[in-house]
Amino acid sequence: MGIAHEPAGYRCPFCERLAGKADEVSGPEDIVRRTEDAAAFISPRWWPNNLGHVLVVPTAHHENLYSIPPEAYRAVGDLVREVAIAIRETYGCDGVSTRQHNEPAGNQDVWHLHIHVFPRYEGDDLYRSQPRPGWATSAERQIYADRLRTHFAQ
Mean pLDDT, rounded, for 125-135: 95
Q: pLDDT at residue 38 above 90? A: yes
Distance CA(17)–CA(52), nearest Å, equals 17
Ordered strands of the 115-120 beta sheet = 31-34, 38-42, 54-58, 115-120, 95-100
At 20 the pLDDT is 96
**Does residue 2 lie within any of the structural domains?**
no
Phi and psi for 67 in degrees, rounded to 5? -100, -10
For residue 113, name the pLDDT band (cuts at 50, 70, 90).
Answer: very high
What CATH number is attached to the domain comprising 19?
A: 3.30.428.10
Q: Would you say residue 5 lies in a domain?
A: no
State how far the alpha carbon of 28 is from the alpha carbons of 9, 14, 32, in Å.
Answer: 22, 10, 9
Total count of domains within the chain: 1
Give a yes or no: residue 4 inside a domain: no
Confidence at residue 1, expressed as pLDDT on a 0 to 100 scale: 54
pLDDT band of residue 2 (cuts 50, 70, 90) is low
DSSP 74-92: HHHHHHHHHHHHHHHHHS-
SS3 state of residue 55: strand
Which residue range is the domain that position 103 belongs to? Answer: 14-153
Is the pLDDT at 114 greater than 70, yes or no? yes
Q: What is the pTM of this model?
A: 0.96
Q: What is the pLDDT of residues 48-79, one digit of tens each?
A: 999 999 999 999 999 999 999 999 999 999 99
Q: Is residue 88 part of a domain?
A: yes
95 found inside a domain: yes
Per-residue pLDDT reduced to its tens digit, 19-32: 999 998 999 999 99
Residue 131 burial (CB count, 10 A):
13
